[in-house]
Structure 1
Amino acid sequence: MIRATAGLLLAWGLAGCAVPEWQKPGTPLADIERAMGRPTLTQALPGGGQRLLYSRQPAGQQVYHMDFDAGQRLVRVAQVLTLERFQALRHGVDRTEDVRRMFGPPALVEKVARFNGDIWTYRILDNGNPRQAHVHIDPSGVVRLVMFTDERLDAPDPHH
C-alpha cells in the first residue's frame, strides 16, 4: 500500500514539473505535448497556427493559452484567467463558444432562481486574492452578465 501510494505521488509530482510559463518560445509542439500532457482544448489559429489550452480548473486558478505558429513552434504562453479578460466579455454579443474558447470549461455550472440560464463559474486569482468569475449565459447561449465574488477558502464548514 505504501509503495503504491509513493508511486502515485512520484508520478503526480513528475507530471507537475512541466510548468507552462517555463516553456521557451521556439519549442516544437510535440515537445510541449510530451512535457505538458494532453491539452484541455485545441483550436486552430489564423495563418495555420494552433492554440493548446491547458486548464487547471476546477481546483486550480489558471488557464493557459499556448500559441504555436504554422511551423508548430511555440510563439507565446498566456495565463488568461484574469479579471480584465472576464470584464472584456461583451454582454449580449459573446456566446457560449466564445467563453469556452477563451477560458475552457468552467469549474462549476449552476442555476439560480433569479436568472433564466446557466452560470459558469471560474476560479481566478485577482492580485493574489482568490475570487470567482460568474458568467451568466442565457438559454440561447448569449452572455448576459459577468459578476465577481471573493472566494473564502478558509470559511468554516457550516455543518460542524
Structure 2
Amino acid sequence: MSRLAAAPLLALALAACAVPEWQKPGTPLADIERTMGRPTLAEPLESGGQRLVYSRQPAGQQVYHMDFDASQRLVRVTQVLTLENFQALRNGLDTQDSVRRRFGPPALLERVASFDGPIWTYRILDNGAPRQAHVHIDPAGVVRRVMFTDERLRDLDPPH
C-alpha cells in the first residue's frame, strides 16, 4: 500500500482509539480535536472557554463534556449521561435547547398519543444497568417531565 493511501487510514484508526476520559488536563483544544475528531456540539462557556460535546448516542450510553479554558487548554472531562443529571432537569424551566446543550442529540425521537410533543430518549447506564431516560418536551420546547425505563438488550433466559 502506498504511503499516501496509508496516511488517512492511520489517522482514522488513531481517532477511533481516542477515549475522552483518557485525555489529560492541559491538552490544547487543537490536539483533542485532532485525536478525537469533530465533536457532536461545541458551546461557548461563560468563562470565555469552550465546551466540546462528544456523544456516543444512539448506540452508546455516554456523552462527554470536554471543557476548555480561555487559553484553549483542557480543564476537565465529564460523562454526563447519568440518572442524577436527568433527575436534575427542571420541569417547566429547562428547554429543548438546554437539554441539547447538556446531553447532545437524543438516541431516539419518539411520540405517544398521551403527550402532545416529542419525547427525547437517551440510552444511559445506571449502576451498570442499561436504562433509558425519556424527556417529554411540549410544543413550545419546554421540558414537562422526565421518565425512566429499563432497557432490555437481550433475553437472558432462554424460552422454555
Which residue identity does 1:47 align to in structure 2? S
Instruction: Output the CA distance in 2 between the equivalents of 1:155 and 1:136.
Output: 28
> Which consecutive residues of structure 2, in runs of 5 or more, have no partner in the other structure?
1-8
Displacement of 1:155: 4.1
- Give the TM-score of the pair, scaled to structure 1: 0.89
What is the CA deviation profile of residues 54-113 of structure 1, one whole-angstrom value per residue up to 9, with x for unaligned ones?
000000000000000000000000000000000000001100001000000000101001
Tell me, yes or no, if structure 1 residue 111 matches structure 2 residue 103: no
Say which SS state the counterpart of residue 125 (structure 1) adopts.
strand
Matches within 5 A, 1:1-160: 13-155=13-155
Pair 11,132 (structure 1): closer, same or farther in 2 beyond 3 Å:
farther
Share of identical aligned residues, percent?
79
Instruction: Output the CA distance in 2 between the equivalents of 1:87 and 1:59.
Output: 22
Instruction: Output the CA distance in 2 between the equivalents of 1:149 and 1:103.
Output: 18
Pair 29,11 (structure 1): closer, same or farther in 2 beyond 3 Å:
closer
Displacement of 1:12: 6.3
Which residue identity does 1:70 align to in structure 2? A
Displacement of 1:46: 1.1
> Which consecutive residues of structure 1, in runs of 5 or more, have no partner in the other structure?
1-8
Instruction: Output the CA distance in 2 between the equivalents of 1:16 and 1:147.
Output: 33
Displacement of 1:16: 2.4
Say which SS state the counterpart of residue 120 (structure 1) adopts.
strand
Which residue identity does 1:21 align to in structure 2? E
Displacement of 1:148: 0.3
What is the CA deviation profile of residues 22-41 of structure 1, one whole-angstrom value per residue up to 9, with x for unaligned ones?
00000000000000000000
Q: CA RMSD in A?
A: 1.6
Instruction: Output the CA distance in 1 between the equivalents of 2:102 and 2:63.
Output: 9
Instruction: Output the CA distance in 2 between the equivalents of 1:104 and 1:33.
Output: 17
